Amino acid sequence: MTDPLEDLTGETLAESVRTIRSTEPLVQALTNTVTINDVANCTLHWGALPVMADTPGDAGEMAELAGAILLNPGQVPETKVEAMCEAGRRANERGVPVVLDPVGVGSTPTRQAVAERLLSELEFAAIKGNYGEISHLAGAEAEVKGVESVGEYDEIGETACALADATGAVVVASGVDDVVADSESAYRVRAGHELMGEVVGTGCLLGATVAVFCGALADDVTAALHATLAYGLAGERAAEEFDYDGPASYRIAFLDSIAGFTPEVAVDPELSSELDLEVRLERLV
């Protein structure tokens, strides 16, 4: 198997962005109400088509048309869980990638039960969560307060691989540095800006970004790596090239930066020089 790092350059990243914009995958998001508008806009700004069909009946019907499904049970009313299972089952039948963002799993028994049900009933192309959420799902020691990860996670690469092996999904663990893993390998992605942590919902937007890339690209590991890197680079560009006065205006700049992350930006000499694998990407496992 070819090491994905060997194929990750400004040109290949640009080609992934170009593919999204040319194919415009329909991404159906059953997501939490805190960030639903930003998730829709993030999806649109990458070049995909968002639809927020999240009620029983409509969810399954829309999944007939979708190119990718995002399940983010940030709030867990029973009807939404039923809709998630309905949409996920239909997507699995059609071979359409489903991405899980298990927000706050491990913080309450209810959220734990929802995650366990989704994982038992559905197959996922990717699972995206913070270090604590991913560690909890993998059965490792973890602390999640509300929706935030707390503590040290020195073995996050091995933990992400273990979860990938148990679920068959590519795993994206988000933190100061993000980790992308399959059952055999884990990669650290160094991209992003500290202001991303000052805006509620940037984790949800990463989940949406992973769904967009999975909906457009054939290989899930490549999709997750490119999505995570592009997302972090967009966060950096927002801080370095856009005007903002604080977290609220940075949020708008970040969305604008995603919208402006064209294939041409991905191969810009200044940006491409920052894709040096020794700086940005590291194999952990």
Is residue 135 within 8 Å of residue 162, measured between CB atoms? no
Is 128 annotated as ligand-binding? yes
Per-residue model confidence (pLDDT) at position 142: 55
pTM recorded for the entire structure:
0.93
> Whole-angstrom Cα distance, residue 126 to residue 96?
12
Q: Does CATH number 3.40.1190.20 belong to domain 4-283?
A: yes
CB-based burial label for 132 (10 Å; 0-12, 13-18, 19+): buried
Is 10 annotated as ligand-binding? no
pLDDT tens-digit map of 44-90: 999 999 999 999 999 999 999 999 999 998 877 778 999 999 999 99
Per-residue model confidence (pLDDT) at position 150: 42
Is 174 annotated as ligand-binding? yes
Among candidate residues 35, 85, 103, 50, the one with its CA nearest the CA of residue 212: 50
Query: What residues in the chain have per-residue pLDDT under 70?
Result: 1-2, 141-153, 269-278
pLDDT tens-digit map of 228-259: 999 999 999 999 999 999 999 999 999 999 99
Per-residue model confidence (pLDDT) at position 71: 98
Question: Where do the structural domains in the chain lie, given as residue ranges?
Answer: 4-283
